[in-house]
């Protein structure tokens, strides 16, 4: 493949890297715990889809909420595992022995920030499904709706801005 000649470097995790990894899984564990604690109180049909305004557009079996948690964990774990192989990532420039460590660190950090964002998305959605199902609200709260939109926007713009600025600062 195209990455066979790239240097394979074992990266040491910084305190920030460790925090981001633990935080991602911690968010998902809290969401799972919240679901477990409230599962017996949920009705047989729970909201499974909401429109842009937060109104319910589709219901599903309450066991579907486990699938949502499973997808969240699988996605976050998949990216966590992928981070062990930064030499196979797609880069905008040629990877050399001189720039490999810097580029690999930035790329893996980008994935870690993405993981936190993904974990937050799944946790907020799980929380809101439980809240709406328990008749605590009629739709996704306005706060959560804006938070979800903000996370999606930040997921796309934030990490890219971070990486570009750090690469410019390091003059790679």
Rounded Cα distance between 1 and 141, Å, is: 47
The predicted structure's pLDDT at residue 88: 92
Q: Give the CB-side neighbour count of residue 99, counting CA atoms within 13 A.
A: 12
pTM score of the predicted model? 0.84
> What token pair was written down for 43?
């009705």
Q: For the residues of 120-132, what is the DSSP string, one character each?
A: HHHHHHHHHHHHH
The predicted structure's pLDDT at residue 168: 78
Buried b (16+ CB within 10 A) or exposed e, 54-66: bebeeeeebeebe
* Closest CA relative to residue 108, chosen from 3, 21, 6, 2: 21
Buried b (16+ CB within 10 A) or exposed e, 76-89: beebbeebeebbeb
Band (14; pLDDT cuts 50, 70, 90):
very high
pLDDT digits (tens, 9 = 90+) for 26-85: 999 999 999 999 999 999 999 998 887 778 889 999 999 999 999 999 999 999 999 999
* Closest CA relative to residue 87, chosen from 113, 105, 75, 74: 105
* Domain range annotation of the chain: 15-30+56-170
């Amino acid at each position: 493949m195209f990455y066979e000649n790239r240097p394979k470097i074992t990266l040491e995790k910084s305190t920030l890297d460790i925090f981001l990894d633990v935080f991602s899984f911690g968010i998902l564990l809290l969401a799972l715990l919240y679901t477990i604690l409230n599962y017996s109180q949920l009705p047989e049909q729970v909201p499974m889809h909401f429109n842009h305004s937060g109104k319910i557009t589709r219901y599903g079996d309450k066991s579907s909420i486990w699938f949502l948690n499973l997808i969240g964990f699988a996605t976050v774990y998949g990216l966590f595992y992928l981070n062990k192989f930064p030499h196979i990532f797609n880069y905008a420039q040629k990877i050399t022995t001189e720039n490999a460590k810097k580029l690999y660190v930035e790329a893996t950090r980008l994935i870690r920030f993405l993981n936190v964002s993904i974990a937050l998305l799944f946790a907020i959605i799980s929380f809101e499904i439980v809240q709406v199902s328990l008749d605590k609200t009629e739709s996704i709260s306005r706060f959560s709706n804006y938070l979800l939109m903000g996370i999606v926007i930040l997921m796309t713009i934030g990490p890219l801005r971070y990486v570009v600025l750090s690469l410019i600062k390091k003059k790679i």
